[in-house]
Structure 1
Amino acid sequence: MAAILRKYVVVGGGVGGGYAAREFVKLGLQPGELTIFSGEQAAPYERPALSKAYMFPDSPARLPGFHVCVGSGGEKQLPEWYAEKGIELKLDTKIVKADVENKTVTTDKGDVYQYGTLLVATGSTFLNLEDFKTPGADAKGIFYLRDVRDADKLVEAIKSRKGDEALVVGGGYIGLELAACLTVNNIKVTMVFPDPCFMPRLFTPELASFYEGYYEGKGVNIIKGTSVTAFEKDADGYVTKAILKDGRSLDSSLVVVGIGAKPLLTPFKGLLEEDKGGFKVDSTFKTSVPDVYAIGDVATFPMKMYGESRRVEHVDHARKSAMQAVQAIKAAEKGEVVDDYDYLPFFYSRSFDLSWQFYGDNVGETVIWGREGAGAPGSKFGAYWVKDNKVMGAFLEGGSPDENKLIAKVAREQPTVDTKEDLVSAGLGFASKI
């Protein structure tokens, strides 16, 4: 079978793939030049919606409402958009083989595509308890969340269990957001995780204590410092109970697991140089192989601000790295270069009536301000991370768009502080003076 020729091929139809398509079009894509392969059945969409508004009991988000690029205020790219731009969007199609020497990729349907330039945007998938050989982890009634199909299954389970109890395994982003969604759906939630507090990779125990108290106030039962070691199931294969490492057991017919993610490197693993769990790229997201770029979760890139290479799993980076790579690809065709990727780390979450944002690097000593009044109507609190008398990171709960821009500026400019007491007393006022 003769290979199908394409100037550009994007493997991955998530956020990165959708934003790459927009950038190609913006920079003068011609019809028939680009094919995007996606294992999903829907055109690229803003994935964060799945653990937030998709689960709401009233006016839930549904496609086509959150196709890319609405997450950055751009045009909504419906399936027709790709057709109108002459982009071949191959949904429900996986790449099972890659040959970077001959510049071909092979689909699970047996089609072979030859590319001029390849963009790897395969993203991540969830960590599965079955991967850890947890007994009973294959039971029905245990859910994970990665795509719309997962979300639809979970929504149906929620509808059939109003007033029931659910177990959420994990105390990170997904665990916290889904625990909130289940609670607002009138489901009693117990959370179990081995860490000493919510989101220990970012939160200090003092920061976490506010969110833990807020969740408990909403009726969420929190069990810290232990993990699920096994599940029991009934004769029909449905989960009935979780056995914890500390010996306790919890009855539950609905389990939601959010214990982290892993980058999807196949089928390119072994073909591209790797570093820190991802494909090693330069500041334009070019890999070790000519004409092959990697973006988003699978890319380990030079973090200009901090002088080291990192791999970042976040939608903001997926969007921006896609744009950077496409700009670099198009510039190289004209013998030009683009500026180095200068990314400011950004993380955020929304659950219940809470909304926080974090910018920068959470290194050094954490200085928390406004915590005493946290929880009062209209109250705000936050934190700064200080290293060598410089503010390296900034966090704000309940900020307005303009206030969030202020803390982003602080993290970007890394101002010097005289004393930590000054930060505590100034609070958000410190950011407003930068």
Structure 2
Amino acid sequence: MAEKSFKYVIVGGGVAGGYAAREFVKQGVKPGELAIISKEAVAPYERPALSKAYLFPEGAARLPGFHVCVGSGGERLLPEWYAEKGISLILSTEIVKADLASKTLVSAAGESFKYETLVIATGSTVLKLSDFGVQGADSKNIFYLREIDDADKLVEALKAKKNGKAVIVGGGYIGLELSAVMRLNNIEVSMVYPEPWCMPRLFTEGIAAFYEDYYKNKGVNIIKGTVAVGFDTHPNGEVKEVKLKDGRVLEADLVVVGVGARPLTTLFKGQVEEEKGGIKTDAFFKTSVPDVYAVGDVATFPMKMYGDIRRVEHVDHSRKSAEQAVKAIFASEQGKSVDEYDYLPYFYSRAFDLSWQFYGDNVGETVLFGDADPNSATHKFGTYWIKDGKIVGAFLESGSPEENKAIAKVAKVQPVASLDQLAQEGLSFASKI
């Protein structure tokens, strides 16, 4: 097969790949210079839609509605956009070998791609129960959600199992968002997770108590402190029951698993420096190999605000790191410089009629403020994290755009405050900063 050559190649067609492409165009990339190689069959899209509006029973989101960059209020980049800009969008193409020394990528079909500068935007892949040797984990109707193909299969199952029973394995983002969307589809839901409360990596016990009670009020059966250890099937191979470690058995017409993800770095093992499970980069997302950048979920980068290095799995960082890397690529070509990446961690989620945002770092002591009664009509509440006398993190449920901006500012500025003061003033403290 003929070898294809490009000045720039983005490997990975997820959120980071799409936002990088937009920044390449802003920076003046010439037609024919850039290629995006993606194993997915569609142009880059906003992945968060898959666990939310894509699964709605009515008015569901569908492509081309949520191609990047609509998630951040930008222009929607349809497949035609790439063609108009002279970008080669190479879809349904999985890269199976990367030789960074010879600047060559090889696809599963044996095609070779040469580059001068590479942007690694391979993202993450879901952890599967079969990875842990769980009995029956390959049964039919056990679903994972990462790509649009996964979501399409889940949509079909929801149609086939109307008013059926679902077991959601995991109490993180996927668990909470999928439990909500299943209830909207009138599916009976049990959510199972081993931790003492939901979303333990971020939520405090006080925050989690609100969501657990709210979900129970919506008909979600929450089972904590245990895990799925096996699945029984019908004669047709479809899942019938979920066996839990504590001995309970749950009926299930379908199962959705959300137990985490791991960054896709295998292609580059032994060729780039790695740290904390990701590819180590500097503040411009340059790796240890010249002309190779890594962005999004796969990058372990300096977190300037906190003086350490971290890997962040979230759409906001995927977008911003991609833009930073491309700016840095063009700056270095022109002998200019760009500012170091100075990222304020930001996470959010929406489910039912709830919407929360978190900024900063969830370390130190905490104070809960506001109306955290799940039966309340307003349920506006939040939490501050205080370390060394300063606010380092802030969480808010049901905030207005102005209030969300206020908690972001507090997490960025890190004002001095006491727990008593914050308990008394609550959200009004942030609004004054």
- Range class of TM-score, shorter chain: over 0.9
The code of the aligned residue for 1:423 comes to: L
CA distance in 1, matches of 2:302, 2:32: 33
Shift of 1:428: 0.7
Q: What SS does the corresponding residue of 1:131 show, helix, strand or coil?
A: helix
Contact 1:374 1:381 in 2 (8 A): no
Contact 2:210 2:372 in 1 (8 A): no
Contact 1:374 1:380 in 2 (8 A): no
Contact 1:188 1:220 in 2 (8 A): yes
CA distance in 2, matches of 1:178, 1:373: 23
Shift of 1:337: 1.4
Q: Which residue of 2 aligns with 1:285?
A: 285
Q: Which residue of 2 aligns with 1:363?
A: 363
Q: Which residue of 2 aligns with 1:16?
A: 16
Quick one: structure 1 residues 394 and 161, their matched pair in 2 at CA, closer, same or farther if it must change by over 3 Å? same
Structure 2: stretches of 5+ with no match in the other structure:
none
Shift of 1:375: 4.2
Shift of 1:372: 5.0
Q: Which residue of 1 aligns with 2:419?
A: 420
CA distance in 2, matches of 1:355, 1:74: 21
Shift of 1:233: 1.2
Shift of 1:303: 0.2
The code of the aligned residue for 1:47 comes to: R
TM-score scaled by structure 1?
0.98
The code of the aligned residue for 1:399 comes to: G
Shift of 1:114: 1.1
CA distance in 1, matches of 2:204, 2:317: 24
The code of the aligned residue for 1:425 comes to: Q
CA distance in 2, matches of 1:375, 1:125: 37
User: Is 2:16 aligned against 1:30?
Assistant: no
CA distance in 2, matches of 1:413, 1:375: 34
Shift of 1:234: 2.1
Q: What SS does the corresponding residue of 1:6 show, helix, strand or coil?
A: strand
Q: Which residue of 2 aligns with 1:263?
A: 263
Contact 1:123 1:296 in 2 (8 A): yes
CA distance in 1, matches of 2:415, 2:320: 25
Shift of 1:312: 0.2
The code of the aligned residue for 2:19 comes to: Y
Count, aligned residues: 433
Q: Deviations over 1:289-326 (max 9, x none)?
A: 00000000000000000000000000000000000000
Contact 2:371 2:378 in 1 (8 A): no
The code of the aligned residue for 1:432 comes to: S
Q: Deviations over 1:14-53 (max 9, x none)?
A: 0000000000001101000001000101100000000001
Moved over 6 A (4+): none
The code of the aligned residue for 1:37 comes to: I
Q: What SS does the corresponding residue of 1:125 show, helix, strand or coil?
A: strand
Q: What SS does the corresponding residue of 1:39 show, helix, strand or coil?
A: coil
CA distance in 1, matches of 2:269, 2:142: 29
Q: What are the equivalent positions in structure 2 for 1:113-262 lying under 5 Å apart?
A: 113-262=113-262
How big is the alpha-carbon RMSD for the aligned residues of Structure 1 and Structure 2?
Answer: 0.9
Q: Which residue of 1 aligns with 2:83?
A: 83
Shift of 1:236: 1.8
CA distance in 2, matches of 1:87, 1:164: 45
Contact 2:241 2:249 in 1 (8 A): yes
Shift of 1:109: 1.9
Q: Which residue of 2 aligns with 1:66?
A: 66
> Kindly, what percent of the aligned residue pairs are identical?
65
CA distance in 2, matches of 1:51, 1:374: 23
Quick one: structure 1 residues 84 and 388, their matched pair in 2 at CA, closer, same or farther if it must change by over 3 Å? same
Q: Which moved more, 1:228-237 or 1:134-143?
A: 228-237
Q: What SS does the corresponding residue of 1:61 show, helix, strand or coil?
A: coil
Q: Which moved more, 1:251-260 or 1:366-375?
A: 366-375
Q: What SS does the corresponding residue of 2:423 show, helix, strand or coil?
A: helix
Shift of 1:374: 5.4
Shift of 1:5: 1.6
